[in-house]
Amino acid sequence: MKPINVGLLGLGTVGTGVVRIVEGHQEDLSSQVGSTIHIRKVLVKDPLKQRNLKVDEELLTENPWDVINDPEIDVIVEVMGGIDPTKQYILEALSQGKHVVTANKDLMALHGPEILEKARVHKCDVYYEASVAGGIPIIRTLMEGFSSDRIKKIMGIVNGTTNFILTKMSQEGAAYADVLKEAQALGYAESDPTSDVEGLDAARKMAILGTLGFHTNVGLEDVEVRGISQVKKEDIAYAKRLGYEMKLLGIAERQDDQISVVVQPTMVSTSHPLASVNGVYNAVYVYGEAVGETMFYGPGAGEMPTATSVVADLVAVIRNIRLGVTGQTAHHVYKEKKLKSDDQIAYKNFILLDVHDKAGVLAQITQVFAEFDVSLESVVQQPNPHNPDAEIIIITHEANQASMKRVLEHFKSLDVIKSIKSAYRVEG
C-alpha cells in the first residue's frame, strides 16, 4: 500500500521523540496500519543546528508552508507549541484536507471548538491525546472508554512541575522558593515558571478534560484558578500532621447538568490514591455513574512518554484513513454550558488562624461559623514556639463556597483574629 506521508512541525524534545519512534518502530507500526509511515518534511528554526538525532538534511525546512502546502503530505504532526502562528498553520492544513495530530494544550484549550469545527467541515481528523498528561491516554479514555457512562467528576494532578515542588516540600520540609530553584535547575520548571506555579497550565488541561467529560464547551475563563506560590512549608507540615498531603488539583464536577471547574492547592487525605502520586508524575481520577471510581497514572511529560501519545494518535488517524472514516471521530459538544454558582459548590475546608491568646476567642470564632451555617469537623489549638499568641486549625464539614467566603470575610473584621494564615480545600 501507498506510504502515509507525515509533515512534522517542530523538532524539539517531543518532535525528536516522534522521529525516534516512527523510525525505530517502523515494523510494528506498519503492521498495525497496513503501510509504512514516512516523515516527508520537518519544520525547524535552524537546519544547521547540532542535534542528538540524525535527520536527513533534505527533510528539514525553515518555511512552514513547505510542509503545509506539500500535496503529498497526508498528516500534519504539530509539536512546535504556541498559539500564533500555530493556529493559522493548523487551520490551513485542515482546509487542504490534511489530518492533524497535536500536543498543543494551549491551542486546544483556547481554540479547540474552532479547530474541531474546521476539521468536521473538511472531513479531517484532529487528535490531541498528548495535550493533557503526557503519556497517560486520558483523552481517548474519556471519548471512548466512558462513552456509555455519565461522568460525574474528574479530579487530577495534571502538572508535573508543581507536583515535584509540593512533593519535595512534603518529603524534605523545604521552602517553596528553594524547591522552585531546584526544579528550574533540573529543567522541570521554566525560567519564568508562572504558567506552572500559578495553575494556568493545569487550568488549560482541565478546560480540555471538562469539555470532553461533560460534552460542553468549557473555556479557560470558566476555570477558577489558584496556584501554589503562596503555599508555605508550615501549611504542608500541618497537613501531614492531620493526615493529608498537599497537591495542586484540577477538579471538574457535574451535578444535574451544572458544572464547576477549579484548579487549586488541595489537602488530599493520605488514604486517597492521589495522595501517593509524587514527583513529576501525573494522575487523573474519574468518577462515572456506572463504573464508579477509576484512576489513570503515569509520566505527565518528557520526550518519549509524550511522543508515544503523539504516535498513538498518528496510528489512529492512519487507521481511519484506511477505513475511509476520517472526520467522524471528533468530540461532539451538545450540552448547554451551565456553571454552578458559589452556593452550589461545596467541599470541606482547612483554615489556619493566628489569634490572640485570651479567653473567649474560640467562642467568637465558632459563632461566626454558626451564623453562616458552616458546621465544624474538628478544631485544634496548636502551640507554636515561634508565635507568642495562638494558632487555631479548623477543618469544616462540607460547606458551600459562598458561605465560606462570607466566613473568611467576616474573620477579617474580627478583633480576636490577627490573620487568616491559610485556607485550603480538603478532598478525600
* Dihedral pair phi/psi, residue 97, rounded to 5°: 85, 15
Sheet of strand 4-9, all strands in order from the earlier edge strand to the far edge: 60-61, 37-43, 4-9, 75-78, 99-102, 126-127
Structural contact between residues 198 and 229, judged by C-beta atoms closer than 8 angstroms:
yes
Cα separation, 316 vs 322, in Å, equals 10
DSSP H or E segment with residue 38:
strand 37-43
Cα separation, 286 vs 393, in Å, equals 31
HSE-up of 281 (CA within 13 Å, CB side)? 13
Q: How far from 105 is each of 67, 82, 111, 206, 318, CA to CA, in Å?
A: 22, 9, 10, 10, 22
Q: What is the DSSP letter of 256?
A: T
Q: Which among 205, 337, 338, 405 is annotated as catalytic? A: 205
Would you call 205 a catalytic residue per the annotation?
yes
Structural contact between residues 226 and 265, judged by C-beta atoms closer than 8 angstroms:
yes
Cell 471510581, residue located = 293
The pairing of beta strand 281-288 with beta strand 151-157: antiparallel
Cα separation, 42 vs 87, in Å, equals 17
Report, as residue numbers or ranges, the catalytic residues: 205
